[in-house]
Each structure stands twice: as C-alpha cells, then as structure tokens.
Amino acid sequence: MKFFVDTAEIDQIKELNDLGMVDGVTTNPSLIAKSGRDILEVTKEICSIVSGPVSAEVVALEADDMLAEGRKLAKIADNIAVKVPLTWAGLKTCKTLTDDGIMVNVTLCFSANQALLAAKAGATFISPFIGRLDDLNMDGLELIEDIRTIYDNYGFETNILAASIRSANHMSECAKIGADVCTAPPNVIKAMANHVLTDKGLAAFMADAEKAGIKIV
C-alpha cells in the first residue's frame, strides 16, 4: 500500500519523504489555507520535493470553471493530480481531464455508487472518506471493502485512495482490505511506529545496559 501525506506543510513533507514514507501528497483548500501560502506557489514546491502524485484541488463548482482551474493546476508540474469533488460537474471534469492525459483524484466519496461512477469517468484515484463516515456511526472501512469488491469484479484501474484517516488502526485496516493508497496526516503516519510493548521493552533494555555499563562508543 502506498502512503500519501495529507498536508501542505513543507517541513513535514520533507521529513517523511527523506525516510521513504511518502509516495505522494494530497492537499485541499483547508490545508492550503492552514499553510498560509499561495496555492500555486506551495503546490509547485511540493511537486519539486515529491516525485509521486500531488493532488491539488479546484475550488469552482461548475464544470467549465472546474476544467479551466484543473488545466491551470496541471501546468504546475507533470506529477499533479487534479482533485475534483464527486458531483456531476466533477465527473464531467474528470472525464475531460482524463481524456487529456491528466491524473484526476475524485474526492468526497461516501458511497459505492459514487465510486463506481468515478471509475466509469476514468478517475485515477477515488477518495472515500473513512473518518467522516465513522463520525456518523457508519462504517468507513466497509465502504473501502465494497469499493474494492466492485473494482475487482470489473477490472477498474482507478486507485482506491483511502482518506479522512484518523488513526494508525485505520492505516492497517485499509492495508488488509486492499486499499491502493492511504493519505494521512503526518502525525498518524508517525503514530504507526508506536506500541506500548516496544516502549516497555526498550526501557528494560536501557536499564539493563546502564546497570551493566554497556557502551558502544
């Protein structure tokens, strides 16, 4: 499973990228606003750091306007994936951009039917939002499983990009279900390394090393 980092913070992207933990980046208007930088400027910098897909989202609502914004974003770098919402206008934009050879990430997916439409429109990525479904007492992971089944049934090549990841458990569960990609905030990716027994075992090793006077250098 590929890891995308869900942020527009350059330092965080660089840190994870240097460790080989970044296969791509996803951004959205909220993350861009949080960074406090111009969308074109910060997206260009991210594309220069990461070789994999970098999702940059349109802010228009009508298909013609989405298309114009998408084409402008796509000119930033070859690894741009234009992000469009899962609306009818977004699907129209997806089909046109895909036909032009531009990667498209269809976002804000909350049902298997929506995911099926995105695949038919030629989306490169479909972004089902796990955490937001969980917030409504619905099973976000079940949606990932349903999409995986449908895509495998018919050989759709659209990548399942699990989004709205809230925990390290979401990451491992998505991997078991068969999500192609998970996009998560930096703190969630780092939390995957944590385990109480690792901390306990390390504390015991360090205590024994100090007691025995063990030194390596």
The predicted-structure confidence for 13-48, as pLDDT tens digits, reads as follows 999 999 999 999 999 999 999 999 999 999 999 999
Please give the distance of CA 186 from its chain centroid, rounded to a whole number: 11
Q: Is the domain covering 2-212 a CATH 3.30.1330.40 domain?
A: no
The residue written with tokens 């914004």 in the block is 69
Identify the pLDDT of residue 172.
98
Three-state SS at 184:
strand
Dihedral of the CA atoms 16, 55, 87, 95 (nearest 10)? -140
Question: First-to-last CA distance in the chain?
Answer: 38
Query: pTM of the entire structure?
Result: 0.94
Identify the pLDDT of residue 171.
98
Which residues does residue 105 pair with via DSSP β-bridges, in sequence order?
Answer: 83, 125
Identify the pLDDT of residue 117.
98
List residues with catalytic annotation: 83
Give me the residues of the chain with pLDDT under 50, please: none
